[in-house]
């Protein structure tokens, strides 16, 4: 009986973690940057560049993985009769929070999912991000205990729920039929990608599985801390184990904090960037991956959040807020990280999180 109960509780979420881990390994082997089979923040940044929203030439590509995740979630929600068009839960605040979640993630150089993939490749510099993300989750959990809420969402016409899936269908058509209208990197991370059909199929698989299992790292850490429920967190442990084993088998596991792919060793700002992302994810009710899934299920509020994330990614590169990877030049190791503008943006992000929290506590105007 106990074994059956554990299988029912953990089976689907662990299977989802394995699928995500395998998909990440396949995408990396097929051409995606190392330890970046999936990265919601980085891929939304690349999409922003492909659409001309920023001019950083090295990070421009219309990533089919993001399209696949949203459409996979939508197909799954429709198939299981879980598609519900709903909206109205502080959309403007969600847009703003989405912007700063991505700015924090790009200061670290990765979303929570890529953080786990980096750890699975032996990247010890990602530990600072993990600790920061956990700290942000704890702050967010404290806000929830105080009664924080962005308000409830309400049923809306079906067309509202199809906005982001519809946008993704349009982007896919653009990539397939009119690629000349898009920007494509000729070097750098944006030029490293798997064949578009492989990326799309991987995204569809992850979207379906994540929709069924409710995979969310922010939610997993929140539930573990507040409810002592480790179900969601087990999915990310499965991703880490799968990617670690896969990298060891392929001989691509590199245990070090130095010279990791698209990573930096400015630990303080990695910590603070992911703390910002963690806090914002709890206020939003889900990490960047979860926001894509919710938008695929018909949430107009999550669609607004995703659009805010894409705008935040564009701003990060238009205004020099994002982190730069460590590099070696003429035999000298150069530490990357973020500059003064990026540091100011992270600090501003904490101020915004605090302001949104204070104005959405019980009894405060705007909490309704």
Whether 173 shows a pLDDT value over 90: the answer reads yes
Percent of the chain topping pLDDT 70 = 98
Say if residues 110 and 41 touch (Cβ distance below 8 Å).
yes
CA distance 281 to 262: 23
Number of H helices, E strands in the chain: 15, 4
How far lies 147's CA from each of 193, 283, 362, in Å? Answer: 43, 11, 6
Residue 7 banded pLDDT, cuts 50, 70, 90: confident
- pLDDT at site 362: 92
pLDDT tens sequence across 183-214 = 999 999 999 999 999 999 999 999 999 999 99
SS (H, E, C) 325-367: CCEEECCEEECCECCHHHHHHHHHHHHHHHHHHHCCCCCCCCC
Whether 368 shows a pLDDT value over 70: the answer reads no
Phi, psi of 305 (to 5 degrees): -60, -45
CA distance 110 to 129: 9
Say if residues 218 and 278 touch (Cβ distance below 8 Å).
yes
CA distance 305 to 225: 25
Q: What is the mean pLDDT of the chain?
A: 95
CA distance 210 to 267: 30
- pLDDT at site 4: 73
Q: How much is the average pLDDT of 302-323? A: 97
Residue 8 banded pLDDT, cuts 50, 70, 90: confident
- pLDDT at site 277: 98
Residue 2 banded pLDDT, cuts 50, 70, 90: low
pLDDT tens sequence across 23-53 = 999 999 999 999 899 999 999 999 999 999 9
Tokens representing 78 are 């429709």
Whether 367 shows a pLDDT value over 90: the answer reads no
* DSSP assignment of 267-335: HHHHHHHHHHHHHHHHHHTS-HHHHHHHHHTTBHHHHHHHHHHHHHHHHHHHTT-S-B--EEETTEEE-
pLDDT tens sequence across 125-166 = 999 999 999 999 999 999 999 999 999 999 999 999 999 999
CA atoms within 13 A on the CB side of 76: 23
Whether 365 shows a pLDDT value over 60: the answer reads no
The torsion defined by the Cα of 172, 174, 48 and 41, in degrees rounded to 10, comes to 10
Whether 328 shows a pLDDT value over 90: the answer reads no
Whether 354 shows a pLDDT value over 60: the answer reads yes
pLDDT tens sequence across 248-261 = 999 999 999 998 99
CA distance 267 to 259: 14
- pLDDT at site 364: 57
Percent of the chain topping pLDDT 90 = 92
pLDDT tens sequence across 77-127 = 999 999 999 999 999 999 999 999 999 999 999 999 999 999 999 999 999
DSSP class of 86: E
- Ramachandran quadrant class, 337 (left: phi over 0; alpha: psi -120 to 50; beta: rest): left
pLDDT tens sequence across 233-247 = 999 999 999 999 999
- pLDDT at site 366: 43
Whether 6 shows a pLDDT value over 90: the answer reads no
DSSP class of 30: H
Q: How much is the average pLDDT of 338-350? A: 97
Say if residues 323 and 342 touch (Cβ distance below 8 Å).
yes
**Confidence (pTM):** 0.95
- Ramachandran quadrant class, 328 (left: phi over 0; alpha: psi -120 to 50; beta: rest): beta
DSSP class of 256: B
Residue 331 banded pLDDT, cuts 50, 70, 90: confident
Residue 1 banded pLDDT, cuts 50, 70, 90: low
């Amino acid at each position: 009986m106990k074994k059956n109960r554990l299988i029912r509780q953990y089976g689907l979420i662990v299977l989802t973690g394995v699928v995500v881990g395998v998909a990440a390994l396949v995408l990396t082997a097929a051409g995606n940057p190392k330890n970046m089979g999936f990265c919601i923040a980085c891929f939304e940044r690349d999409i922003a560049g492909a659409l001309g929203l920023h001019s950083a030439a090295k990070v421009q590509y219309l990533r089919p993985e993001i399209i696949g995740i949203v459409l996979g979630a939508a197909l799954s929600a429709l198939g299981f009769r879980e598609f519900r068009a709903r909206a109205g839960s502080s959309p403007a605040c969600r847009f703003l929070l989405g912007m700063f979640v991505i700015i924090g993630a790009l200061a670290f150089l990765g979303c929570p999912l890529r953080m786990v993939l980096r750890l699975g490749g032996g990247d010890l510099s990602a530990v600072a991000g993990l600790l920061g993300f956990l700290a942000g989750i704890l702050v967010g959990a404290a806000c929830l205990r105080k009664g924080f809420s962005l308000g409830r969402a309400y049923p809306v016409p079906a067309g509202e729920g199809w906005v982001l899936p519809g946008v993704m269908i349009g982007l896919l058509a653009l990539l397939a039929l009119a690629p000349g209208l898009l920007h494509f990197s000729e070097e750098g991370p944006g030029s490293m990608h798997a064949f578009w059909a492989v990326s799309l199929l991987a995204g569809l698989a992850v979207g379906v599985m994540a929709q069924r299992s409710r995979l969310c790292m922010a939610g997993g850490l929140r539930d573990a801390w507040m409810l002592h429920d480790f179900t969601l967190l087990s999915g990310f442990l499965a991703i880490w184990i799968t990617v670690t084993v896969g990298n060891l088998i392929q001989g691509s596991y590199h245990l070090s904090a130095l010279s990791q792919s698209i990573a930096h060793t400015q630990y303080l700002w990695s910590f603070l960037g992911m703390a910002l992302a963690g806090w914002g994810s709890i206020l939003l009710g889900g990490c960047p991956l979860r926001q894509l899934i919710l938008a695929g299920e018909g949430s107009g509020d999550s669609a607004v959040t995703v659009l805010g994330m894409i705008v935040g990614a564009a701003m990060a590169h238009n205004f020099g807020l994002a982190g730069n990877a460590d590099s070696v030049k003429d035999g000298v190791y150069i530490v990357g990280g973020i500059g003064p503008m990026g540091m100011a943006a992270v600090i501003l992000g904490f101020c915004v999180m605090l302001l949104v929290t204070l104005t959405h506590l019980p009894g405060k105007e705007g909490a309704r």
